[in-house]
Amino acid sequence: MGDSTAWTLAIAAVTGGTAVLASWVTSRGSARAARIQAETAARSQRAERLRESRRTAYLDLIEQTHRIGELCWEISAALRESAAEERAARLDVLLDREIAEYAKIRRCARIVELEGPPSAAAAALTLQKATGPFYEALQAGLAEDKDCREEFDAAFRPFWKALENFVDAARDAHQTE
C-alpha cells in the first residue's frame, strides 16, 4: 500500500506541475498574442489615419485648383472687355483675388508635400508653379498697359495638364497605400 500511495503522490505532483507549466506557457502565449494583435491594430489605425489625411489634402488641393481655374476664366473674360478704364479697375481687383487664391493653393500644395508620398508632392508643387504664367501675364499686361490675352489664355493648357498629372499621382499614391 505504501508503494501505491507514493506512486499516486508522484503522479499527482507531476500532473499538477504539468498543469501549472501548461497554464504558464498558455498565459505567456496569450499575452504575446494580445500584444501582437494590439500592435497590428495600432499600425492599421495609423495607416488609415494617414490615408485619410492624404486624401483630404489631395481633395483640398484639387478644390483650390478649380477655384483658381474659375478665377482665371473670370480674368480672361475681363481681358476681352473693350472699355479700358473699367477693365483696368476690374483687373486690379481680380489680380488681388488671384494673389489671395495663390496663397491658398500654395498652402494646399505644402500640405500635400508634408503628407506625401514624394510622387504626389512633386506633382502638387508642379501644379502650384503652373499658376505662375497667369500671374506674370496679367502683371505684365497691367504694368505695361498692353493686351495680354494670348499669354494669359495660353497658360490654361499647361495648368490643366498639371492638374491632371496631380490627380493621376494622387490616385496612384492612394491606391498603393
Where do the structural domains in the chain lie, given as residue ranges? Answer: 53-176
142-164 confidence digits (pLDDT tens)? 776 677 788 888 888 899 999 99
What CA–CA distances, in Å, run from 150 to 2, 42, 60, 88, 146?
A: 113, 55, 30, 17, 11
- For 60-116, the pLDDT digits (tens) are 999 999 999 999 999 888 888 766 777 778 888 988 999 999 999 999 999 999 988
What pLDDT is recorded for position 97?
A: 93
d(CA 104, CA 65): 9
CB 75 within 8 A of CB 91: yes
pLDDT, residue 104, reads: 95
**Does the domain made of 53-176 have the CATH classification 1.20.1420.10?**
yes
Assign residue 70 a region: left if phi > 0, alpha if psi is -120 to 50, beta otherwise? alpha
* Grid coordinates of 89: 479697375
pLDDT in the model for residue 66: 95
Per the CB < 8 A criterion, the answer to whether 75 and 98 are in contact is yes
Burial pattern 5-38, b for ≥16 Cβ within 10 A else e, equals eeeeeeeeeeeeeeeeeeeeeeeeeeeeeeeeee
